[in-house]
Amino acid sequence: MYDYKEPWKINLASVLNAILSEAGIKENITSAQIVAENPPDSQMGDIGFPMFSFAKALRKGPPQIAQMAAEKLNALANDDGKAEAQGPYVNIKLARGSVVKNILEDVIKGSKPDTLAGKKIMVEFSSPNTNKPLHLGHLRNDVLGESISRILAACGADVRKVCIINDRGIHICKSMLSYKEQGQGKTPESENIKSDRFVGDWYVIFSRQLKAETENLISNGIDPKKAEAQAPLMLRAQELLRQWEAGDSETCELWKKMNSWAIEGMKQTYKRTGISFDQYYYESETYMLGKDEVLKGLEKGIFYKQEDGAVAVDLTEENLDKKILLRGDGTSIYITQDFGTAINRHKDWPFNKMIYVVGSEQQYHFKVLFILLKKLGYSWADNLFHLSYGMVNLPEGKMKSREGTVVDADDLIDNLRDMALAEIREKEREEEVGNPAEVAEKIALGALHYFLLQVSAVKDMLFDPKESLSFTGNTGPYLQYMGARICSMLRKNESGSGESGAVKDFSLLVSDSEWDLIKVLAGYSQAVAEAAENLDPSHLAGYLYELSKCFSRFYHECPILTCEDKRLSQARLELSRAVMLVLKDAFNLVCIPFLDIM
């Protein structure tokens, strides 16, 4: 991986050590301590090195250090550039032509950082419930998990993507009960409804009927805090759960049928959005796994038994509170299940790191989980990480599953696709793009995924469908358009001059707009590495926007196909091709479809 700044960092460390030695100061400065910046104005130089951090060691002011260092750097007779002191900075003006070739060859070769080579990283994401289809919140979770997995793999990690499907519990029994009592043998096929949506509709029906029963009980004097639990519909759902846990054959058959409908529909959405997993786990198979671990912890005195027979742990020393791990009747809870799932996963695939992509409302849960696994003696618990992300809503307000106001993932994508298709037709581009519906689908996914990833995961966000589809500004379609524009230009060159194989003289690329673009290209590997280190695809989204803006400026300021100097034209075409390759590669990392034509 070529870094044009690194040789200058090494030389600068050497001259600073020479200044230290001349002053009789026994201290050593390494290149790792040298900070390289991009000057705010390209007229000031191509690399800037601030000298503030060396003032104490050298016992001189930063401007004085910069002057001395620049003189010594120039004395090295480096043909790659010239150093100049500007206040407290040592700025380097590169002999641009001599480094462009190395940068572009490295980009075209597809070099990536190998910072995670040899690391095994497991990423859990999505974690849907089988009582409803995937919705907008899942879309943010899914694209975060998928993008992070791809970024980590690009940095050399061996990544395993896993999904736990929450297919048991009272929420599942609610949709089951509604269907059992009112379904009358209907199926997704008979109703022509996508199978997960079909199941979700029965959950909404249950919730609305439960609300009506609860309000009726409250109006008859029942305590509002107890009314829902006492509603006849809820009592029948609880009984259905007991029947499932007892293995009742009729109940289990209904459960299998409705779960299969839900999961089949979800997998169709995963395929549509480019999301995949190496392994699925099912809560119905894992919820009992952690019980033995809790009992072992009880024997070791890590946990204690309450008067009601429940097993608990006191976490006040960790600034948390008391946590129940097994109920008084011996049944497990979610935290118990997660013990067993984590332990089994590490046995199946001994990871170096495990990342849980789960909403911020579960921060407390994961703090407790990680602490308790460590208390149970699993040293790898130190390598567990909760990637917490914020809520995502629409301009209309907060979504609620129980009230049926959640926006289904497929409905949202359909809406975006139809809006993109209308734009293609309005501009009379149907014949040009070949398959308008397919292109519109890819534009919709690009708009959706980029919008969801451009904001740091920890922040709550508002998803605006119309804003996301804009072809100008910081959007997915704008980035896709840049890629398509370059592809169009490369096609015209191949069909026109026929000189695509000509020798490229990169030393001709010396203008400011060309050099600014080349510097951004040179930063691609670092952008990928930073996104991996921070587990934050927004770093890469920001890089893509910056690259696209720089290319747009270059495109408008530097004639390419119309350039009279054919050697310069070919060099600019090769620079454009390098941008296209980076866009295509980075699009894959942030789950944006690349379009040759749009």
Q: What is the CATH number of the domain that holds 580?
A: 1.10.730.10
Distance (Å, whole) CA 584 – CA 334: 41
Q: Per residue in 251-283, pLDDT tens?
A: 999 999 999 999 999 999 999 999 999 999 999
Q: What residue has token string 């930073």?
A: 530
- Residue 432 inside a domain? The answer is yes
- Residue 12 inside a domain? The answer is yes
Distance (Å, whole) CA 340 – CA 331: 14
Q: Per residue in 45-101, pLDDT tens?
A: 999 999 999 999 999 999 999 999 999 999 986 778 999 999 999 999 988 777 888
Query: In Å, what is the CA distance from 579 to each residue of 320, 418, 522?
Result: 50, 30, 10
Q: At residue 292, does pLDDT exceed 70?
A: yes
SS3 290: coil
**Whole-number average pLDDT of the chain:** 93
In terms of Cβ atoms closer than 10 Å to its own Cβ (0-12, 13-18, 19+), residue 55 is middle
- Residue 505 inside a domain? The answer is yes
Q: What residue has token string 């995963």?
A: 270
Q: Nearest Cα to 247, choosing from 284, 203, 193, 293?
A: 284
What pLDDT sits at residue 501? Answer: 55
What pLDDT sits at residue 503? Answer: 65
Which has more confidence, 468 or 41? 468
What pLDDT sits at residue 405? Answer: 54
**Listed range (214-223, 299-308, 388-397, 530-539) with the worst mean pLDDT:** 388-397
Distance (Å, whole) CA 27 – CA 37: 24
In terms of Cβ atoms closer than 10 Å to its own Cβ (0-12, 13-18, 19+), residue 596 is middle
Q: What is the DSSP string of 542-572?
A: HHHHHHHHHHHHHHHHS-STT-SSHHHHHHH
- Residue 451 inside a domain? The answer is yes
- Residue 52 inside a domain? The answer is yes
Q: Which domain holds residue 38?
A: 6-94
Residue ending a domain, choose from 57, 78, 94: 94
The percent helix, strand, coil of the chain (3-state, each to 5) is 60, 10, 30
Domain containing residue 86: CATH number = 3.30.1360.70
Q: At residue 119, does pLDDT exceed 80?
A: yes
Residue ending a domain, choose from 67, 94, 121: 94
Q: At residue 400, does pLDDT exceed 80?
A: no
Q: At residue 172, does pLDDT exceed 70?
A: yes
| pLDDT interval class at 30 (50, 70, 90) | very high
What pLDDT sits at residue 497? Answer: 53
| pLDDT interval class at 133 (50, 70, 90) | very high
Which has more confidence, 42 or 530? 530
Distance (Å, whole) CA 304 – CA 323: 11
Residue ending a domain, choose from 94, 111, 140: 94
| pLDDT interval class at 397 (50, 70, 90) | low
Q: Nearest Cα to 136, choosing from 468, 564, 433?
A: 468
- Residue 545 inside a domain? The answer is yes
Please count the structural domains in the chain.
2
Q: At residue 406, does pLDDT exceed 80?
A: no
**CA end-to-end span of the chain, whole Å?**
33
Q: Nearest Cα to 194, choosing from 452, 414, 419?
A: 414
Say what percent of the chain tops pLDDT 70: 97
- Residue 502 inside a domain? The answer is yes
| pLDDT interval class at 11 (50, 70, 90) | very high
Q: What residue has token string 């786990």?
A: 281
Amino acid in the structure at residue 443:
I
Query: How many CB atoms within 10 Å of residue 24?
Result: 6
Distance (Å, whole) CA 257 – CA 176: 10
Q: Per residue in 467-521, pLDDT tens?
A: 999 999 999 999 999 999 999 999 999 876 545 555 688 889 988 899 899 999 9
- Residue 254 inside a domain? The answer is no
Which has more confidence, 386 or 292? 386
